[in-house]
Amino acid sequence: MNDFRRKTLLAAAAALLLKPFAALAAWNKEAFGAKSAAEALKSLGAGGAAPSKDIVIEAPQIAENGAVVPIEIQSNIPGTTALMVLIEKNPFPLASRFSFMEGALPFVKLNVKIGETSDVRVVAQAGGRYYTAAKEIKVTIGGCGG
Amino acid sequence: MAAGPMKMRATLGSGYTDVRVLMTHPMETGQRKDADGKLIALHFIQNLTVKVNGKTVVEGETSQAVSRNPVFTFRIKGGAKGDKVEVSWLDNHGDTNKTEAAVA
């Protein structure tokens, strides 16, 4: 096998190996890398979210173990298509973003890590507008460091 | 592939179906240190997808702030016994895993 052919094969193999990365679904690097909740919301296009009582956040008031804090969120705003969870005092506040298509209810329950006592902010997207609600969770043992 | 097992249960409620799924994943924050004081690299699930009978209903983006071995509950409108639910994830190393269950 000549050198040129070997290089071509190697390049082809590399391309195949890299393919799964090219197929990566969208992950908003900018928003997830933001170091403040305001910055993260801005990158998500949700800067001017209006407060709403129709977002329900079920979470403990005091979390003993910040490494696993169960939170349940639900939006009762008609036409909600996305929910975002931000833990304001975490080093990278944006914890997750969920898009709901036809067939799913704007509801999700998950466990998150909370570094220190912080507001947990939920932002709902409905018909191109953004709504928000927050709840403070007190943490006795942090969940981010060693 | 570092992907550990997943577990899922889809339970019919009144007018909705709850899908509870467990993923085995370290969800490293990149801030913890190992015994030698070296930082453990970021390793976390970035994307997840919930499909019902082959149609995507929820797409999630997650950060390292989701707890280790994440458990999620999603709620699907309606649903019927035997509906096929599939959940898959993709992490920042490009590893993936998926699981399937029928609504019970």
Q: Which CATH number does the domain B6-30+42-102 belong to among 2.60.40.10, 3.40.50.920, 1.10.10.10, 3.30.1330.30?
A: 2.60.40.10
What is the bridge-based pairing of β-strands B84-91 and B96-102? antiparallel
- Spatial contact of B10 and B17, defined as CB atoms under 8 Å apart: yes
Shortest CA distance from A68: residue in chain B: B67
Q: Give CA–CA dist B85/B83, Å, rounded.
A: 6
What is the band of A64 on the pLDDT scale with cuts at 50, 70, 90? confident
The reply to whether residue A96 touches residue B29, judged by beta carbons under 8 angstroms, is no
Smallest CA–CA distance, residue A1 to chain B, in Å, is 32
| pLDDT tens profile A1-44 | 566 666 666 666 555 555 444 444 589 999 999 999 999 999 99
Q: Does A141 touch chain B (CB under 8 A)?
A: no
CATH 2.70.98.10 for domain A28-141, yes or no, is: no
Residue ranges covered by each domain of chain B: 6-30+42-102
pLDDT computed for residue A69 by the predictor: 95
Of residues A28, A107, A114, nearest to B75 (C-beta): A107
Q: What's the pLDDT tens digit per position in B16-56?
A: 999 999 999 999 999 898 899 999 999 999 999 999 999 99
A77 contacts: CB under 8 Å, gap ≥ 6: A52, A54, A55, A106, A124, A126, A131
How far is Cα of residue A109 from the mean position of the Cα atoms in its chain?
A: 13
Quick one: tokens of A1? 């096998």
> How deeply is B94 buried, as exposed, middle or buried, from its count of CB atoms within 10 A (0-12, 13-18, 19+)?
middle
How many other CB atoms are found less than 10 A from the CB of residue A43?
16
Cα separation, A81 vs A104, in Å, equals 9
As a whole number, the mean pLDDT across chain B is: 93
* Disruptive mutation site among B22, B61, B73 for chain A (greatest number of A CBs within 10 Å): B61
Q: How far apart are CA A34 and CA A94, in angstroms?
A: 8
And the tokens for A15? 């391309």
Domain limits, chain A? 28-141
Residue A76 Cα to chain centre, angstroms? 20
